[in-house]
Amino acid sequence: MTTGIAVMAKAPRAGRCKTRLMPYLTAEQAAVMSAAFLADVTANLALAAKAGAIVPYLAFAPAEAAALFDGILAPGTRMLLADGLGAVPDGVNGFGRCLHQAIEAMLALGHDAACVLNADSPTLPTRLLLEMEAALAADGDRIVLGPAEDGGYYLLGMKRAHAAVFSGIDWSTAQVATQTRQRAADAGLAVVQLDPWYDVDEPAALLRLLVELDGTGPPDAFAAPHTTACLTNLNLAGDLKCL
């Protein structure tokens, strides 16, 4: 059994990514940090792939942005277009179109299970990726949800492209994980919930990341060497600790 895991990513372009971290970062610094996050998230996936039957992907959009990821991703990361422009079941809107497209594409490539993963958690423990894989390898249908502390989720895995869990979701709100669990319950799907983790998309979360990478975070957090180097080069600690 193989599980495809796709990182849902924006190309690291100035002014188009990590905008909620400005004005603490310039547009150019935000793009550099976004690239560092992608390097670490895909490196984490590559590490998980060595321990389990995991195939790493990057799900991106638009199609012409593919070259912007050159030299950033961990070796072995496959590219997957997820622009949300294809046909999707009724009720699946917004970002859900991209998520559903990525899940369908990985299953169509022959994987027994598929998972979408955010690009905003560079220190996510590798064990959570392996726990997701193990939960999906068990008999029976289910979804696996990795809840984010802001009310969203950092990963969602399944064996079939269950459109119901992407339908009628208020994306980019604190209700996403709750609504997803409810959609799964309405569809009669069991939900395996992993330990929560956090997204780095607000200044307070960036400060938390700085503290974590100083060695005071959870012992199983991914080391995130690219992010560590990026934060060292940007020298943000003083500004953020004033928050």
Token output for 198:
């956090």
pLDDT of residue 238: 53
CA nearest to 158, candidates 184, 178, 179, 185: 184
Quick: pLDDT tens for 201-219: 988 899 889 888 887 878 9
Contact 119, 158 (CB under 8 A): no
Given this model, what pLDDT does residue 242 score?
Answer: 47
pLDDT along the chain (243 residues), means of 10: 96 87 87 96 98 97 93 97 91 95 98 97 98 96 97 98 96 97 97 97 89 85 95 73 49
Q: Which domains does the chain have, with CATH numbers?
A: 3-240 (3.90.550.10)
Q: What is the pTM of this model?
A: 0.94
Q: CB under 8 Å to 60, separation ≥6 — which residues?
A: 9, 10, 11, 66, 69, 79, 80, 81, 82
Q: What is the pLDDT of residues 96-135, one digit of tens each?
A: 999 999 999 999 999 999 999 999 999 999 999 999 999 9
Phi-psi region of 179 (alpha: psi -120 to 50; beta: other; left: phi over 0): alpha
* 193 vs 8: CA distance, rounded Å: 20
CB 104 within 8 A of CB 158: no
**SS3 state of residue 144:** strand
DSSP 199: -
